[in-house]
Structure 1
Amino acid sequence: MKYRYNETLPADFAALAQKCGARIPLKSAYEAIRNSLFTVGIFEEEQLVAFGRICGDGVLYYLVCDVMVAEEFRERHLEENLLRELGDYLREHRRRESRVMIRTDRAYAEVCRKHGFKYVDEDYEVIMKG
């Protein structure tokens, strides 16, 4: 397995998202990658098998998002590795007044808790969308 930082191609990102059940048009994938503060991709023989990124203004707000692992690699618990790498970036760059949020699927809730994330409210509603 090889880790690549800020090197994931938009086509690889879009393909992995599709494998994980989300459809991201290539143009949107390109813009998302370009506007990310930090990305980490885990590759197996040049194939992207796990991915995560950080978005935000780089000062007050950081959003950990698009944490995904191809189904055939989930037993390796690569989401742990992704969150560790993303956490290392945050520890180096965030300020005391920074707020860090995570947007992820409930399947990764437990591993997020291990990395210090908690639900915002007692009803376990993570975020509202419109």
Structure 2
Amino acid sequence: MNLSLSELEVREQPPGVEEYLALRVSCGLSPRSEEGAAIGLANSYFAVTVYAEGELIGMGRIIGDGGCHMQIVDVAVRPDYQGKGIGKMIFARLVDHLNQSAPDKTYVSLIADVPADQLYRQFGFAYTQPEGQGMYLRIRP
């Protein structure tokens, strides 16, 4: 793709359910149910979506209680658009929003896939180990 960043449409809203599910699969992220996606997207604290020629090509969301605990999730860029700075732009907008709107001492977390952890470190994120260990539970996989 030969589009420049200025030719992309950036929105501060979550994507639609179908395009969200499709982008997750195209990026190799674990699938989600349609029901779960509808609920989750509607409860986003903040979201950034990126479109090229009307198609969703990238996204990122912040979820949480809006005060004490926030989590960055769903940072993804379609493979044919990766390596063009889109992921970094999405992440920068998420972090800028947090810096402008989150109260002091808000704990912001994320789960970093390798090699994306190197991008997140550029924005000041640190590994939790050895002080803590990330854990998860998947309901009815």
Output the TM-score relative to the length of structure 2: 0.85
Amino acid in structure 2 at the alignment position of 1:16: L
Match of 1:31 among 39, 47, 55: 39
Q: Is the deviation greater in 15-24 or in 61-70?
A: 15-24
Tell me the distance in 2 between the aligned counterparts of 1:75 and 1:96: 33
Question: What residue number does 1:106 align with?
Answer: 114
Query: How far apart are the structure 1 equivalents of 2:49 and 2:133?
Result: 25
Q: Within the alignment, does 1:115 sit opposite 2:123 as a pair?
A: yes
Number of corresponding residues? 129
Contact 1:67 1:104 in 2 (8 A): no
Please state if 1:10 is matched with 2:36.
no
Higher helix share: 1
Structure 1 residue ranges without an equivalent (≥5): none
| 1:120/1:8 CA distance change after superposition, 3 Å | same
Partner of 2:136: helix, strand, or coil? coil
Separation (CA, whole Å) in 2 of partners of 1:48 and 1:103: 22
Which of structures 1 and 2 has the bigger CA Rg? 2
Q: What per-residue deviation string (whole Å, max 9, x for no partner) do you get for residues 17-56 of structure 1?
A: 0111221222211111011101100110111111100000
Percent identical among aligned pairs is: 24
Provide the aligned C-alpha RMSD in A.
1.6
Say whether the 8 Å CA contact 1:10–1:29 is kept in structure 2. yes
| Equivalent AA in structure 1 for residue 123 of structure 2 | H
The within-5 A match list for 1:1-130 is 1-21=8-28, 22-122=30-130, 127-130=134-137
Deviation at residue 104 of structure 1 after TM alignment: 3.1
**Which secondary structure state, in structure 2, belongs to the residue aligned with residue 65 of structure 1?**
strand
Residue 127 of structure 1: SS of its match in structure 2? coil
Kept in 2: contact 1:41–1:48 (CA 8 A): yes
TM-score of the superposition, structure 1-length normalised?
A: 0.91
The whole-number CA distance in structure 2 between the counterparts of 1:83 and 1:106 is 15
Structure 2, unaligned runs of 5 or more: 1-7
Question: Is the 8 Å Cα contact of residues 12 and 48 (structure 2) preserved in structure 1?
Answer: yes
CA distance in 2, matches of 1:126, 1:65: 18
SS across alignment from 1:62: strand
